[in-house]
Amino acid sequence: MTDSNMPVYTYKDFASDQEVRWCPGCDDYVVLKSIQKALPQMGRRKEEFVFISGIGCSSRFPYYVDTYGMHGIHGRAAAIATGVKLANRELSVWVASGDGDSLAIGGNHFIHLIRRNIDINLILFNNEIYGLTKGQFSPTSLMGQKTKSSPYGNIQPPFHPGELAIGSSSRFFARVPGGNTKMQQAVFIEAEKFKGTSIVEVLQNCVIFNDGAFDKYTDRAVKDDAQLYVEHGKPMIFGKNSDKGIVLDGLKLKVVTIGEDGVTEDDILVHDAKEKDTTLHLMLARLHMPVVTGIIRAVEEKTYDELCTERIEQMKSQAKFKSVNELFASGETYEVK
């Protein structure tokens, strides 16, 4: 895969000839740009990338990336991508999918993809709404949220994608704000490097049907205090003045201010994304003020696609029948003259 003849790409090489048709102001534009900028940094040839999606606004993604792509059917992107990756491990397989696509109709494929740990990167465009069908509540919509299908307020409690993913044995889970292309690029590159299923939840603003859903985290005025960007090996410090931090208080996380109550930087938890035990990662995924962004968990294990290939190789050397003709002619046969 590393190759001295590797062409040098720019983001333009990954822009297809199709006109982008999201609503003006939609965060999907930002994610598209982030991908187009991140792909050239992945040390792969353009034809090795495959983008698979389901149905939804966000699922139009593959049309706009000039690589191989399939705009599948609603909810099945993870399952289609599974086939692509199992068929050819050399490909870099990406899934672009909405909260409806991956957590409503596609919920089963989502959790099974994660359980199997197939080396696929899934971008979860979580706008807490069904965009394409014009504004019904989704499985991540909040209680009380008024939508076309909940005119008096939603009464179905939401999934928390991070908890669901880690509950399905997620080995890589990250969260990024919809408008932050820098962070998106960095995280996408890490997701690609990571061997295993990488889930990247994008807090994606839908300007039409759920505008401002994440303002409490992403508004310029509050974002420094409302977001904790975690990096492996670094202390969990945040805040406009970088003076806030996270400490463990029994079995709960607590926000403290460095310099107050005798708290020093050394007291602050250091992020260990590679810890196998999920306890702390779940606490981070659950935290809501600040909300945790960046790579929360990244614990490598052998992937299913790798095990699959190994098994085939192993069988090639062990198997009794080396050719199908041998198989057909094996066991109890008899001659008719």
Partner 1 sequence: MTQENSSLDKQSVKDVVIRFVGDSGDGMQLTGTQFSTTSALLGNDIATFPNYPSEIRAPQGTIYGVSGFQVHIGESAIHTPGDDVDVLVAMNPAALKVNINAVQPGKTIIVDSDSFTSKNIEKAGYKENPLITGELDSFVVIEAPITTLTREAIKDVGLNKKAMDRSKNMFALGMVYWMFTRPLNHTIEFFKKKFSNKPMVIEANIKALKAGYNFAQTLELMPSPLVVLPAKMRPGTYRIINGNTATAWGFLAAAEKSGLDLYLGSYPITPATDILHELVKHLQFGVKAFQAEDEIAGISSTIGASFAGKLAITTTSGPGLALKSEALGLAVMTELPIVVVNVQRGGPSTGLPTKTEQSDLLQALYGRNGESPAIVIAASTPENCFDYAFEASKLALEHMTPVILLTDGYIANGSAPWKIKKVEDMPDITHRQITADDVEGEFEPYSRDKDTLARPWAIPGTPGLEHRIGGLEKADITGNVSMDPRNHEHMTKLRQAKVDKVADSIPDLKVEGAQEGDLLVVGWGGTFGSMFTAVNSMHEEGKSIGLAHFNYINPMPKNVEDVFSKFKKIIVCELNNGQFHTVLNAKFPKFEYMKYNKIQGLPFSVLDLINKFNQILDNK
Ligand X SMILES: Cc1ncc(C[n+]2csc(CCOP(=O)(O)OP(=O)(O)O)c2C)c(N)n1
Nearer to ligand SF4, 22 or 304 (CB): 22
Which of 23-31, 182-190, 256-264, 298-306 is the region at the interface with ligand SF4 (rule: CB under 6 A)? 23-31
Residue 101 binding partner per list ligand SF4, partner 1, ligand X, none, with a CB distance cut-off of 5 to 8 Å that depends on partner kind = ligand X
Q: Which of 195, 202, 121, 191 is nearest to 161 (CA)?
A: 202
Is residue 28 near ligand SF4 by the rule CB under 6 A? yes
Distances (CA, A) of 144 to 125, 149, 153, 216: 21, 12, 4, 17
Cα separation, 77 vs 109, whole angstroms: 8
Check if the beta carbon of residue 206 is closer than 8 Å to that of residue 252. no
Is residue 218 near ligand X by the rule CB under 6 A? no
Is residue 99 near Mg ion by the rule CB under 5 A? yes
Residue of 27, 101, 192, 201 interacting with ligand X (CB under 6 A):
101
Residue 88 binding partner per list partner 1, a second copy, ligand SF4, none, with a CB distance cut-off of 5 to 8 Å that depends on partner kind = partner 1
Which of 52-60, 195-203, 219-227, 275-283 is the region at the interface with partner 1 (rule: CB under 8 A)? 52-60
* Beta carbon of residue 255, minimum distance to ligand SF4 (angstroms, whole number): 32
Determine the residue type at 248: L
Which of 125-133, 177-185, 243-251, 286-294 is the region at the interface with partner 1 (rule: CB under 8 A)? 125-133
Per-residue contact string for residues 303-322; x = within reach of ligand X by CB under 6 A: --------------------
Is residue 130 near ligand SF4 by the rule CB under 6 A? no
Is residue 255 near a second copy by the rule CB under 8 A? no
Tell the residue number behind the tokens 């192993």, with chain if given: 314
Is residue 51 near ligand X by the rule CB under 6 A? no
DSSP of 157-199: PPP-HHHHHHHTT-SEEEEEETT-HHHHHHHHHHHHHSSS-EE
Is residue 144 near a second copy by the rule CB under 8 A? no
Is residue 27 near ligand X by the rule CB under 6 A? no
Q: Which of 192, 54, 195 is nearest to 117 (CA)?
A: 195
Residues in Cβ contact with 99 at an 8 Å cutoff, skipping those fewer than 6 apart:
124, 125, 126, 127, 128, 129, 138, 139, 140, 161
Residue of 30, 32, 57, 79 interacting with ligand X (CB under 6 A):
57
Neighbours of 239 (CB within 10 A): 17
34 alpha-carbon distance from chain centroid? 14
Cα separation, 30 vs 181, whole angstroms: 6
Structure tokens that stand for 95 in this block: 């899934």
Is residue 155 near a second copy by the rule CB under 8 A? yes
Is residue 334 near a second copy by the rule CB under 8 A? no
Check if the beta carbon of residue 199 is closer than 8 Å to that of residue 225. no
DSSP of 269-313: PBP-TT-S--HHHHHHHH-BTTEEEEEEEE-----HHHHHHHHHH
Determine the residue type at 11: Y
Which of 172-180, 231-239, 252-260, 320-328 is the region at the interface with partner 1 (rule: CB under 8 A)? 320-328
Which of 92-100, 223-231, 238-246, 261-269 is the region at the interface with ligand X (rule: CB under 6 A)? 92-100
Residue of 41, 133, 136, 278 interacting with a second copy (CB under 8 A):
278
Within residues 106-135, the interface with a second copy by CB under 8 A covers 107-108, 111-112, 115-117
Tell the residue number behind the tokens 């409806």, with chain if given: 100
Within residues 113-132, the interface with Mg ion by CB under 5 A covers 127
Within residues 220-249, the interface with ligand SF4 by CB under 6 A covers none
Residues in Cβ contact with 37 at an 8 Å cutoff, skipping those fewer than 6 apart:
11, 181, 185
Tell me which residues touch ligand X (CB under 6 A).
Answer: 55-58, 74, 98-101, 125, 127, 129-133, 138
Tell me which residues touch Mg ion (CB under 5 A).
Answer: 98-99, 127
